[in-house]
Structures are given as structure tokens and as C-alpha cells.
Structure 1
Amino acid sequence: MKHLGRHVLAEIYGCGFDILNDIRKVEEIMVNAALEAGAEVRECVFHKFSPQGVSGVVVISESHLAIHTWPELGYAAVDVFTCGERVDPWDACNYLTSHFCAQHMTARETKRGIIPFAGQVAVNQ
């Protein structure tokens, strides 16, 4: 079956505190991950929490990359959603894992917008 997009949810562990707690570095790595995957970056919004942590989203023409970090745990929760065939969300996830200096990454992919169902209207009863 054809689908509209691919959505990868990644759990990235064993990352460096100083990387995950630096809003500029996290944004730079996220943008570069999108570019590495072949995406076209549109907008970015990132927020630094106190005492630590960063959340952000990179809006791409093909959908988005989002992150929330727990530097004190060396952990980042990431989702990469891409539409179409041109951009590979796994390229972005692998780039993030490498540039966060992670020790381990687990991820799963979900196909989004299965074509035979895309034109049907859901009815809640």
C-alpha cells in the first residue's frame, strides 16, 4: 500500500550533557539533520528550559523534526516526519545520533496516511 509519509520516533540515549543543554547546538544539529536527509528547511522554534533541557521543532517542506532533551539523563526524544519519497527520516535520525555523541538509539517507523483510507471520512459514534 502507498502512504503519504513516514514518521520515525527515536529514543536517543547516552548523549553528552553539554550538547543536549545547548540550545544553539541542538538547533544547529537538528537543522543539519534535516538537510542531511534532503529536506527543505522552512522555520525553526526552540526553547531552553531552566535548569536544563531544550525543546524545538524544525519545520520542513516535507513535514517536521521535533525534539525534547533531558541533558541530566543524556536522553533525547525525537520524531522525524517526512512526506513523499525524496527525504529519508532515517538519515536524519542517524545524523542526530552521531552528532549528539549518543551511545544508543532505538526507533520505530510508522507509515502515515495510507492512501486507500486517505479519502474516507471517519465517523465517531
Structure 2
Amino acid sequence: MRGLHLTADLSGVRADLVLMLDPAALQALCVGAVAAAELGAVAELFHRFTPAPGETQSGITGVMLLAESHLAVHTWPELGGVTLDVYVCNMGQDNSAKARALMGELIKAFAPEQVQQQALQRGLT
């Protein structure tokens, strides 16, 4: 059950960026980035929330179940923020480079002003 868990907190993302507002656009990005990283997509769900009273924008939560583990994306257009979570297990082979490639592609697509990234090696042995 060893694996690599990557997270990134993005700020300064344009609130009108289509990826921040359109679940279909965000889903297309994620599906394409997962395929480009040569990870195995199993299932996906992308949901746009109803704007809060007095707000005109609302964010999206998207998740992809991967054969290697998961990808989660949360957008907050009203704050110009995005959080990304990529976890891959390394059963049978080391998928760490694929996880890093996926994370890099997602960060690039959002073009944030600031990025805070974390990496955690998970598992026993």
C-alpha cells in the first residue's frame, strides 16, 4: 500500500476561467490529463454547487477514481482558489512520476499566481 500523495493549493486563479465554472470543461481537462499521465481512469463525478444567497458564482468538486487511487479537484471562483489532490499507490510499479506529471498539467491549466505544494510518502514498508 505504498504510494505518493500530492496536494496543491492554488490562489490567484482567474474567477472567470471556464475551468472554475463549467463542470464539463473541468471534467474534460481531468480526463485528458489522467490519460496523458498514463493513469487508469475507472469512474468520475463532477458537480457544480448552487451559488450561495447573494453570490453569482459557485465552485465545482470533481473526483476521479483511478486504478492507481484518485484525483480530486475543488474550485472556489469567488476566492480565486483551487485545491488539487492526487494519490497513487505503487503496487507493482512506481507511479510517482505519473502523479507528478498529472499534478503539473493541472496546475499549468489553472495558471495560478501562487502555488503551495505538498508531497507525502504513504504506506508501510
Determine if the TM-score, normalized by the shorter chain, exceeds 0.5.
Answer: yes
Equivalent of 2:14, from 16, 21, 28? 16
Question: Hey, what does 1:86 align to over in structure 2?
Answer: 95
TM-score scaled by structure 1?
0.82
Alignment pair present for 1:67 and 2:73: yes
TM-superposed CA distance for 1:104, in Å, is 2.3
Residue 78 of structure 2 aligns to a residue whose secondary structure is: helix
Amino acid at match of 2:121: K
Task: Give the match's secondary structure for 1:17.
Answer: coil
Equivalences, count: 113
Aligned partner of 1:77 in structure 2 is 83
State the SS of the aligned residue for 2:2. Answer: strand
CA distance in 1, matches of 2:29, 2:114: 17
The TM-score with structure 2 as length reference comes to: 0.82
1:12 deviates by: 1.4
Matches within 5 A, 1:1-125: 4-18=2-16, 19-51=19-51, 52-84=58-90, 85-87=94-96, 88-115=98-125
Quick one: which amino acid aligns to residue 23 of structure 1?
P
**Post-superposition shift, 1:91?**
1.1
Alignment gaps of 5+ in structure 1? 116-125
Secondary structure of the corresponding residue to residue 82 of structure 2:
strand
- Which stretches of structure 1, 4 residues or longer, exceed 3 Å deviation after superposition? none
Q: CA RMSD in A?
A: 1.5
Question: What's the offset of the Cα at 1:90?
Answer: 1.6
User: Is contact 1:39–1:61 with CA below 8 Å preserved after alignment?
Assistant: yes
C-alpha separation in 1, matches of 2:44 and 2:73: 12
Q: Contact between 1:36 and 1:95, CA under 8 Å: does it hold in 2?
A: no
